[in-house]
Amino acid sequence: MTSADQTTNGETAACVTAFESFSKTSGSPDWLKDLRTNGISHFTELGFPKQNQEEWVFTSTKLIQELDFIPALASAGASPDLAPFLFKDLTGPRLVFVDGHLSHGLSELPTLPDGVLITNLASAIETHGDLVKAHLAHYAKTDGSGFSALNTAFIQDGAFVFLPKGRTVDQPIHLIFVATDGDANTINLRNLIVAEENSEAKIIESFCSAGEQAVFTNVVTEIAVAASARVEHCKFQEQNRESFHVATIQAQLERNCHFTSHSISTGSRIARNDINLTMTGEHVECVMNGLYLVGDQQHVDHHTMADHAMPNCDSHEYYHGILGDESRGVFNGKIFVREDAQKTDAKQSSRAILMSDKATLNAKPQLEIYADDVKCTHGATVGQLNNEAIFYCRSRGIDEADARRLLTHAFAGEVIERISIPAVREHLEKIIWDRLEELIED
Amino acid sequence: MSKQLIEIKNLSANINGKEILKGINLTVNEGEVHAIMGPNGSGKSTLGYVLAGREGYEVTGGEILYRGKDLVEMAPEERAREGLFLAFQYPVEIPGVNNTYFLRAAYNEQRKHRGEEEMDAVDFLAVVREKMKLLELPDAMMKRSVNEGFSGGEKKRNEIFQMAVLDPKLSILDETDSGLDIDALKIVATGVNRLKSPTNASIVITHYQRLLNYIVPDYVHVLFDGRIIKSGGKELALQLEEKGYDWITGKETVAAR
Ligand SMILES: Nc1ncnc2c1ncn2[C@@H]1O[C@H](COP(=O)(O)OP(=O)(O)OP(=O)(O)O)[C@@H](O)[C@H]1O
Ligand SMILES: [Mg+2]
């Protein structure tokens, strides 16, 4: 064993110990136990990501490691006030997870179309074991990073959404993940969304904090979108600014499907989002739309990937960032166009506004193109607000501060506009406007 | 006698340390239309920007009295609220800001300045509708972002539409005619003429006598190398159209034979 492995062992010890007691107590099917064991062994090997790894150069996980790892393995029965996290006018299905475990009391499940399942993973494993087994951990790589390995080791609960062939859930499905202050400090969540052929749904994941403590949320969401299905996925993260948030969204997109991913990130001390879309069929249309808005010493990192494995697919990506104070942003957008993926249309645009001299952004588009008949464009800008536009506003009677406000709102608004659910747009606009006010005033 | 609206006295101005305006004298009274013509790069847009208060345009000499006040001391937004309007030669695109929303924000700033109550979206729409008819503007344009993706002609029309809604005392139209097709030119010119009143005035910057067939100026000035080198009545524009600028600037005509 090399010395590097030794240090890894030191860092991972708390997690391994926690895993040992966790695996003794949970009575799960063997396939799941195997999955978890596979997870912990990858984790022991990989450890927490380090800055000498290409994907983590700009994001340090030191603060996360310093948090003693105390996973919330069982529900502590907390029942936080949900009011601030509910979206007005959103009355569809709602699952609420408190510290990583479903709260039946806070959840709301109206009658669903035949065969549609909206439930928590823990019960789906019991009631629909084969279905879960056929999909769980089939899309997201367990060894993608130390965090995804750790997530797999502690698979226990999360949301499970299953849309059978041809079914549509009309109302948006709201999944709320609340962290509370308690003895535990680590929340592990595993979500699985399976959309069969021709099905359709809009799904919102909200991550929020009811308390003020530093809690580490480690979440993996796997999404399988079958042929001609339509899924709009909106992730919104507004956890408290002591928190750590690491999330992976892994979507597999089959022929003719439409998939949209929105990622809106305003919270957490450190937030890392990996969003990977793999197109495994032709004529897929997918969008990655993102907005991050941070201040103080917040650190927000988006690593996205559009993997064009098949021909004739479109992927369009738009990321906007607004960074104030001493915050730091990272954007890494990968586009892979594999040899067979002719007639690919891939667009990527990353724009950021720095509201203070001390804010920074590391943006890196990363295009790897192995097919020759493709359309790929990317653009990245980092800067201040457009002075000409400010003057134009002023020349019409709007003062400078209001002009800045108007332009910043518009910049954020461009991303919000792409969300198709009015209730979500309205809620996010309000939160984002408030957050912007904070940043503008500083 | 009509009242003096703006008096520009021996104005000189720099951009990035380079002297562009070199002693301009111009007085505009209420009810008047002044045309400014002149070759490319002579400083016409610079004059417009200096009047509107654009950053980076430094007044190095002379003075500008606007409605009796020192214009140079006023912030751009104050000038606008006091009724000065510049129709840009190159209107700026503002993605994500709705055209109607933007205009209402501007309109309400000016109302506030005059001590009037702000107007709500519904009442404002009524104001807007009327002016849209005047300029034959399609509804769709009002729902789009300010100038974003507008054609060159649409941008110019949108400038005059803003002017119609804001109802300025002094408007400066910087090459509003360029990029307009003949029908749009007529619409815009009709609009400008309808907005004309005995208490407001405009400065029309143009290269073409064509516009002045529709918007008939009281005075025509030739700006050359940062100075007004000739002024006259509307017939001066016709002469310029015919002979070019060389006969005034004194440059030899070099025939390209
Ligand atoms: N930012 C700048 N820095 C340096 N020089 C500038 C700048 N902006 C304009 N100029 C120069 O100032 C001079 C006058 O420009 P201006 O735009 O006022 O001309 P104009 O008369 O409006 O010309 P046109 O008929 O082409 O519109 C030009 O020589 C131009 O190159
Ligand atoms: Mg010009």
pLDDT tens, residue by residue, B180-228 = 899 889 988 998 999 999 999 999 999 888 899 999 999 999 999 999 9
Chain B CB contacts of A391 below 8 Å:
54-55, 76, 92
Contact list in A for residue B168 (CB cut-off 8 A) is: none
Q: What is the pLDDT of residue A319?
A: 98
Ligand 1 atom closest to residue B223's alpha carbon, by position in its atom list:
21
Confidence of residue A5 (pLDDT cuts 50, 70, 90): very low
Beta strands A360-369 and A328-337 are parallel
Structure tokens at A160: 């499970």
Of B88, B105, B145, Cβ closest to residue A398:
B105
Mean per-residue pLDDT, B157-173: 95
Query: What distance separates the 2 farthest-apart alpha carbons in chain A?
Result: 70
Mean of the per-residue pLDDT values of chain A: 94
> Which tokens hold the place of A347?
């667009």
Average pLDDT over residues B16-29: 96
Question: Residue A9: pLDDT above 80?
Answer: no
For chain A, the three-class secondary structure string (H helix, E strand, C coil) is: CCHHHHHHHHHHHHHHHHHHHHHHHCCCCHHHHHHHHHHHHHHHHHCCCCCCCHHHCCCCCHHHHHCCCCECCCCCCCCCCCHHHCCCCCCCCEEEEECCEECCCCCECCCCCCCCEEEEHHHHHHHCHHHHHHHCCCCCCCCCCHHHHHHHHCCCCCEEEEECCCCECCCCEEEEEEECCCCCCEEEEEEEEEECCCCEEEEEEEEEECCCCCCEEEEEEEEEECCCCEEEEEEEECCCCCCEEEEEEEEEECCCCEEEEEEEECCCCEEEEEEEEEECCCCCEEEEEEEEEECCCCEEEEEEEEEECCCCCEEEEEEEEEECCCCEEEEEEEEEECCCCCCCEEEEEEEEEECCCCCEEEEEEEEEECCCCCEEEEEEEEECCCHHHHHHHHCCCCCHHHHHHHHHHHHHHHHHCCCCCHHHHHHHHHHHHHHHHHHHHC
- The mean predicted confidence, pLDDT, of chain B is 92
In angstroms, rounded to a whole number, what is the distance separating the alpha carbons of residues A210 and A224?
Answer: 31
Which pLDDT score, from 0 to 100, does residue A441 have?
65
pLDDT of residue A433: 87
Cβ contact, residue pair A392, B91, below 8 Å: yes
Residue B251 reports pLDDT greater than 90: no
Across B139-149, average pLDDT: 92
Question: Quick one: pLDDT at residue B254?
Answer: 46
Confidence of residue A439 (pLDDT cuts 50, 70, 90): confident
Contact: A393, B94; criterion CB under 8 Å = yes
With a cut of 50, say whether residue B256 has pLDDT above it.
no
The CB of B217 under 6 Å from ligand 1? The reply is no
A1 pLDDT tier (thresholds 50, 70, 90): very low
- pLDDT of res. A414: 92
Which of ligand 1's atoms lies nearest the C-alpha of B49? Answer: 18
pLDDT in tens, B83-129: 999 999 999 999 989 999 999 999 999 999 999 999 999 999 999 99
Burial bucket for residue A300 (CB in 10 Å: 0-12, 13-18, 19+)? buried
Residue B255 has pLDDT above 50, yes or no: no
Domain that holds residue B147: 4-256
Q: Per-residue pLDDT for B12 more than 50? A: yes
Residue with tokens 């005619």: B177
pLDDT confidence bin for A400, thresholds 50/70/90: very high
Whether ipTM exceeds 0.85: yes
pLDDT at A4: 43
How many distinct structural domains can be found in chain B? Answer: 1
Instruction: Please enumerate residues of A whose Cβ is less than 8 A from a Cβ of B.
Output: 386-389, 391-400, 402, 406-407, 409-411, 413-414, 417
Closest-CA residue, ligand 1 atom 26, reads B40
User: Which of A133-137, A401-405, B93-97, B238-242 is predicted most confidently?
Assistant: A133-137
Q: What is the mean pLDDT of residues A229-241?
A: 97
* Distance in angstroms (rounded) separating the CA atoms of residues A51 and A65: 13
Q: Are A371 and A341 in contact (CB under 8 A)?
A: yes
| Res A8 pLDDT > 80 | no
Tokens of B86: 């510049």
A414 → closest Cβ in B86, B91, B96: B96
Q: Taking residues B163-181, report their average pLDDT.
A: 94
pLDDT at A167 over 50: yes
What's the token pair of residue A87? 């979206």
Cβ–Cβ of B86/A414 closer than 8 Å?
no
Per the CB < 8 A criterion, the answer to whether B156 and B188 are in contact is: yes
Amino acid of residue A262: H
pLDDT band at A343 (very low <50, low <70, confident <90, very high): very high
State residue A420's pLDDT score. Answer: 97
Rounded to an integer, the average pLDDT of A391-407 is 95
Looking at chain A, which residue has its C-alpha nearest residue B87? A395
Q: Which of B12, B19, B44 to mutate to test the pocket of ligand 1 (most atoms within 8 A of CB)?
A: B44
Ligand 1 mean position, distance from CA B152 (Å)? 20
H or E, element range at B49: helix B44-52
What are the φ/ψ torsions at residue A234 (nearest 5 degrees)? -125, 115
pTM: 0.86
Compute the count of residue pairs across chains A and B with CB atoms less than 8 Å apart: 77
Residue A395 and residue B76: Cβ atoms within 8 Å?
yes
How far does the centroid of ligand 2 lie from the alpha carbon of residue A115, in Å? Answer: 67
Does A23 have pLDDT greater than 70? yes
Q: Which residues of A touch B146 (CB under 8 A)?
A: 392
- Nearest to residue A244, comparing CAs of A258, A230, A265? A265
Residue A318 half-sphere exposure toward CB, CA atoms < 13 A = 13
Instruction: Name the residue among B80, B92, B106 with its Cβ closest to that of A389.
Output: B92
CATH number at residue B38: 3.40.50.300
To the nearest whole Å, the CA of A411 is away from the closest chain B CA by 6
Assess whether the C-beta atom of B206 lies below 6 angstroms from ligand 1: no
The pair of structure tokens assigned to A402 is 């209001």
Question: How distant is the Cα of A195 from the closest Cα of chain B, in angstroms?
Answer: 33
- pLDDT tens, position by position, A290-312: 999 999 999 999 999 999 999 99
